[in-house]
Structure 1
Amino acid sequence: MTQCKEESVRASWASNHGVGPNMLSTDADTGGFAVECIKGNMLLRETAREYLPQIIKLLRSIHSAKAERWMGKFEPVNEVKWHLPYAAKCMPPEEVRRVKTALRNAEVSIKNPPLVPCHNKFHCRNIMLEDSMPGSHDGARLLAIDFENCDLGDPMWDVASLAADLEHKTQFALLKVHGATEEEKRRLRIYLPLVKAHVLILCVFILCVLSLYWAVLFHVERNTSSLTVYVVDFDATQPPYTDTQPLIGPMVTQTTKSMLGSPMPHLGYITKQPSDFANDPMKVRQAVYDFHVWAAIIVNANATALLRAAVSEGNPSYDPLGACQVIYVQARDQETYASYILPQLNMLQTEITSKFGQMWTRQTLQDTSIPLSNLQAAPQALSPAIGFSTFNLRPFAPAAATPAVTIGLIYLIIIAFFSFSFFLPIYMKFASTPGHPSVTFPQLVLIRWLGANSAYFLMSLAYSLISLAFQIPFSNGSAPATAVANNPNAYGKASFVVYWMVNFLGMSALGLACENMAMLIGFPWTSMWLIFWVITNVSTSFYSLDLAPKFYYWGYAWPLQNIVEASRRILFDLHSRLGLNFGILFAWVAINTILFPLCCWVMRWKTIRQKKKVAQH
């Protein structure tokens, strides 16, 4: 039982370090354990030569893993001595003498070897080869099994154990792959400073670029007041209700003003006069639709008058929700509304109805002129007395539209980026095709530019068709700005074509920038550019810039921000800034088109210089 527990600990160690199969479960009482089934075969000594680099990699992973306190010292000489008496019964006398001689030589020659975690039974039968593509060895994954002897030991014992299990020719290949010649050591001394420099560059790059993503929401609590909300009190300001002493309107405005002085995060409430909107509540809705503010609270002109009449007349049809309105446009940014605006507005409504309810109940019950039967006929006029009707002018629906205006757009960048490496070998065929005259450099530049944009044109169509395939509406008519409308489209049946053109222009803006940078900086630095390009576009497009530090205002000029805004306009019939969006995207395409020939020339110059260096050597 104890031995089983020890093997369980060793198997768990191997699983944690990725050198053995994944541990599925263990029994603390019995030491029993279960590991994941490896879909593959045992490594054959006949084919081991083909996997020597992977074998050495696995062996070094074991030797470089963290040593644990439970690891003892594995002594190969003592291990052989322990087994020899039992094996000697079946061995010829000459072989026994030979083994004893080898043991004496090992005891004399090997003193204080380095001790690292070792498998100590590392041979082909304890190496599993996971299934891979036929004929492919570079991507093969090897795992070791049977770690029952895993302890601290001499790493060369594992190498010797494996070598003894291999064919004679493979033994020499193993030692060559594992060992380092003087020439290899010399190159290693040259490469180490370069590796350190690359690691340092990557660390600084990760710190700087990924910080852009984390920092975009760093001051959300401080900037919540940037999410502005109009508070417009029409209560008793319009005839025929001007003779009524207003109660609800002042309560709402006083509460919102008091919140502005709160140290807690709060929305940016702005009190407006009805005259600012020509005494028309519909113009308040228009202001919300036009993105002047994120939401609006309207106290209706007859709010107090209807409440008083309900109590004095015992009106059973009185509806508390007719007192106030909350107006917003969810499709503008559903995440910002769900996370920051609506929770704050709900808290405000609760506070207002609570405070007003206490004041109104006390005042009503003290008025002896109001018959009790009236209150019994209209109890809602006493509690809750007032409420808020919510008007979401443009709901965000269906849910399948989420990728079209958020995370799905990342693939627009990635597809555009990888089209460079995918199509470049094809374009280079024009430059040097045996048996045919090569095109001139200006012709090649033109072919590449036209080819890239033609690819973007078709790929953006494929990308756009995904939204159509998942039944996102594209053929509904538009709706009045001040009306609540579900799934209206800005351009009716032409909405899909406009949506496609936004994606095409956006892919050109994103993709040509990637093409230029790939030609300028080359690989592997292009992958770093992709990370930067994705992070800067995502951080300024998928989160409201009103909540971000002002440093991020450059995001308004970034391509993805304008693709998102234009897509929302088309899909949900929002306030149109399509001219601005198209203008910014066209500017990106134009700038990158101007730079495109220069970047092509730089790439050609670097290629020619590299060929000259190779020829000189």
Structure 2
Amino acid sequence: MDPLRLSQIDEASISSLSSASIASDPIHETNSVRSYHPGRKSRLNSVASVPPPTAEASIKSGDHVPAHSSGFRRRTSTVTSWFRHQGSDDASLEPVSRKLTRQFTQQTAPGTSAFFVDGMLPNSVDDANEEAISTILNSEDSDNADSDDEERDNDLTKLNSIKKQVTHEVKQQLNKIGFFDPKFDRVKTMFHFVKGYFLITGVIMAIYSLYWGAMYHRTSRLKNFDFWVIVDEQDTLSQYVVEAANRVPNIGTWIPKPYQSISNDTSQLHSIMARKVYRQEIWGAVVVQPGAASDYLAALQSNSDFNTTGLMEVIHETGRDYVAESSYFTRAFAYLQQAFTELQPNMTAELTAQLSDSQKLAVLDKLLSPIMFTVTDLTPAHLLAPIVSGPQQFGLVYLHLLSLLQFAFFQPYHNKIASELKDASFIAYRLISSQITYIILGLGYTLVQVFFQIDIYTAYPHKVGFLIFWLSSYLVLSSLGGVNENISIFLQAVKPNLIPMWMFFWMVSNIAPTYYPISLSPKFYRYGYMMPIKNGYDLYKTLLFNTYKPANMPRNVCVLIGWVLITNALLPFTMMYYTKVKSEENKKKIKLLKKLKKLRAKHHVFRDNTVEEKPSPQ
């Protein structure tokens, strides 16, 4: 019997049928039992129709039921032949290489039941259950598979008798009832719904808490940003810059350092600090030129032209973290400028004490002009176009969804191929086909960036840059899809209704530590360093903004490759576990149907004996 047809017998129908069979009284069923034949031919019951009992079978069974035509043509049923084969000793001779693929022909798309009944309309489910049960009840008893032809004929006669007694009851058990029918247990149903609501609400709260927790008390961790303030300790201007940095409210830790600790060559201070920021040793730097106050005072005394824009410089790199830079650093630098502007009159008063009244009047306009910081962003402005947020942020979420959609989209193809390949070949096919799919999808994702003129060649030349961006997209897709495929197959075997919940959890757990620096979240979120989306996010930053490659790129590539290797290594074992679970479920159903046949046979014998002992009316 095809496992697909057997799987269409839902557990509720079998359970109700078994309980009703045990509780039934054969004596009272003698005059009410009649044969059951499926109704009009439909798509679901056209495979194995139940023929009416022949006159010969009726005579042998002792029940004189007039033969009539049901309008169906009897033909050899794969359901009957498979059931006969499963019950016989020949079933043990089935090649092991076909057991896995036979189970995977039943596999449905993620998020649906492993059986093909949950997505049907109620009447279609009834037809499928009636057809499968009726066919199995009319099949030859598998316990007598080794008997000769005469014994098979006797068994068939007995089963025909059982069929007449059982099939009407089967039909009654499968009939639907209304919502307000007294037989419908509304209290029990409501209890199950309430229990489900509590479960799903608890899970949703836990998953959302995972994301909200990454942002909880984030402002208290802004001090984890380190900014160096390079100053001349003997210079008045440097002293006021340090005081202004201390007034910046709760954004970063501003660490004053004498320029002598960096380099005695003052002309190299800018390049040295820019290199430290680029290599991600610090988040930013403020450089005050040594002797800046003395140069400023000399310009005031001589009333000469003096460019104050070179006195103070702020160095940072937006490409290191696009969101954090725009959310916090820009605001921090604005606070720094505002604080220094408020302190500048005090500094000016201290410096102009050395000027005469005529000199003060001559340079009054310069004294009233604020001294501004020069802000240097190591990331070129043309790379910070708003469209970059597509692949840098939201594109990663879409890649995750794409890895899910391809798994569901190609599932029918996998099922069809599973019916033709041996187990080893099918496993190899799944491993290879999934990687080819991720390569093709990664190419499509990369071409979208090219079509919208996003500069993906910043870190590498044109041809190499395209290939590396393509490879990075493939690694992200393969790592995400490999996890989804393994978990979906596993849950499909044990608890299919948890698959959507898993997908939701996997997405949130990946996103929570990704879009902001992990240093702004609790230490728990350092697990993000091993998550596929976080590593893909850092990898795209390197490719799109040309950030320092040794800082993150080796780790990103190794983690993503590790996910690909581990998930592909686990996939064969996951598929074998799925096969084992589904095989055991099918065996349990067959065993239950055998017990039902034996029980009906005993009731049939008991009924015949009761009828024979009943005295005939005079």
Scaled to the shorter chain, the TM-score interval is 0.5 to 0.7
Aligned partners of 1:605 and 1:401: how far apart in 2?
Answer: 47
The match for 2:412 is 425
Q: How does 1:49-448 map to 2 (within 5 A)?
A: 179-183=179-183, 185-186=184-185, 188=186, 191-233=189-231, 235=232, 246-257=235-246, 264-279=249-264, 280-281=268-269, 282-316=271-305, 318-361=306-349, 363-364=351-352, 367-368=355-356, 371-372=359-360, 374-375=362-363, 379-380=365-366, 382-394=367-379, 395=381, 396-432=383-419, 438-448=420-430
| 1:551 aligned onto 2:530 | no
Aligned partners of 1:180 and 1:578: how far apart in 2?
Answer: 64
* Alpha-carbon contact 1:490-1:572 (below 8 Å) kept: no
Aligned partners of 1:584 and 1:370: how far apart in 2?
Answer: 69
Q: Secondary structure at the match of 1:524?
A: helix
Look up the equivalent residue of 1:357 and give its one-letter code: P
CA RMSD of aligned residues (A): 2.3
Deviation readout 1:262-307 (Å, 9 max, x if unpaired): xx52311122332443343211111111112221111112422321
* Alpha-carbon contact 1:313-1:374 (below 8 Å) kept: no
1:516 Cα deviation from its structure 2 partner? 0.5
Deviation readout 1:60-95 (Å, 9 max, x if unpaired): xxxxxxxxxxxxxxxxxxxxxxxxxxxxxxxxxxxx
- CA gap of 1:334–1:431, structure 2 versus 1, over 3 A, is closer
* Alpha-carbon contact 1:457-1:504 (below 8 Å) kept: yes
Deviation readout 1:543-568 (Å, 9 max, x if unpaired): 22121111111111111111111111
Look up the equivalent residue of 2:431 and give its one-letter code: W
Q: Secondary structure at the match of 2:454?
A: coil
Q: Secondary structure at the match of 2:548?
A: coil
Deviation readout 1:433-488 (Å, 9 max, x if unpaired): xxxxx32222211111111111011011111211111110134xxxxxxxxxxxx4
Look up the equivalent residue of 1:416 and give its one-letter code: S
Aligned partners of 1:613 and 1:304: how far apart in 2?
Answer: 89
* Alpha-carbon contact 1:326-1:390 (below 8 Å) kept: yes
Look up the equivalent residue of 2:485 and give its one-letter code: E
* Alpha-carbon contact 2:446-2:470 (below 8 Å) kept: yes
The match for 1:607 is 582
Look up the equivalent residue of 1:231 and give its one-letter code: V
* Alpha-carbon contact 1:520-1:602 (below 8 Å) kept: yes
Aligned partners of 2:304 and 2:225: how far apart in 1?
Answer: 39
Aligned partners of 1:538 and 1:514: how far apart in 2?
Answer: 15
| 1:527 aligned onto 2:497 | no
Q: Secondary structure at the match of 1:474?
A: coil
- Which structure has the larger Rg over C-alpha atoms? 2
1:249 Cα deviation from its structure 2 partner? 1.1
1:569 Cα deviation from its structure 2 partner? 0.5
Aligned partners of 2:318 and 2:368: how far apart in 1?
Answer: 30
- CA gap of 1:359–1:401, structure 2 versus 1, over 3 A, is same
Structure 2 unaligned segments of length 5 or more: list them. Answer: 1-119, 122-175, 594-618
Aligned partners of 1:285 and 1:443: how far apart in 2?
Answer: 56
* Alpha-carbon contact 1:289-1:393 (below 8 Å) kept: yes
Aligned partners of 1:442 and 1:270: how far apart in 2?
Answer: 62
1:362 Cα deviation from its structure 2 partner? 5.4
Look up the equivalent residue of 2:292 and give its one-letter code: A
Aligned partners of 1:370 and 1:492: how far apart in 2?
Answer: 63
* Alpha-carbon contact 1:473-1:489 (below 8 Å) kept: no
Look up the equivalent residue of 2:203 and give its one-letter code: F
The TM-score with structure 2 as length reference comes to 0.62
Aligned partners of 2:304 and 2:462: how far apart in 1?
Answer: 45
1:189 Cα deviation from its structure 2 partner? 5.3
Aligned partners of 1:592 and 1:389: how far apart in 2?
Answer: 50
Aligned partners of 1:325 and 1:371: how far apart in 2?
Answer: 28
Aligned partners of 2:456 and 2:436: how far apart in 1?
Answer: 24
1:178 Cα deviation from its structure 2 partner? 5.4
The match for 1:93 is none
Aligned partners of 2:474 and 2:363: how far apart in 1?
Answer: 64
Q: How many residues align?
A: 408
Please point out which of 491, 494, 499 is paired with 2:464.
494
Structure 1 unaligned segments of length 5 or more: list them. Answer: 1-136, 139-175, 237-244, 433-437, 476-487
- CA gap of 1:315–1:353, structure 2 versus 1, over 3 A, is same
Aligned partners of 1:354 and 1:196: how far apart in 2?
Answer: 62
The match for 1:505 is 475
* Alpha-carbon contact 1:327-1:392 (below 8 Å) kept: yes
1:406 Cα deviation from its structure 2 partner? 0.4
Look up the equivalent residue of 2:251 and give its one-letter code: H
- CA gap of 1:275–1:364, structure 2 versus 1, over 3 A, is closer
* Alpha-carbon contact 2:251-2:332 (below 8 Å) kept: yes
Aligned partners of 2:564 and 2:535: how far apart in 1?
Answer: 13
The TM-score with structure 1 as length reference comes to 0.62
1:383 Cα deviation from its structure 2 partner? 2.6
The match for 1:596 is 571
Q: How does 1:30-45 map to 2 (within 5 A)?
A: none
1:179 Cα deviation from its structure 2 partner? 4.6
The match for 1:564 is 537
1:177 Cα deviation from its structure 2 partner? 7.6
Flag the structure with more relative contact order, 1 or 2, with Cα contacts below 8 A and sequence separation at least 6. Answer: 2
Q: Percent identity?
A: 23
Look up the equivalent residue of 1:301 and give its one-letter code: P
Q: Secondary structure at the match of 2:215?
A: coil
- CA gap of 1:388–1:258, structure 2 versus 1, over 3 A, is closer
Q: How does 1:452-471 map to 2 (within 5 A)?
A: 452-471=434-453
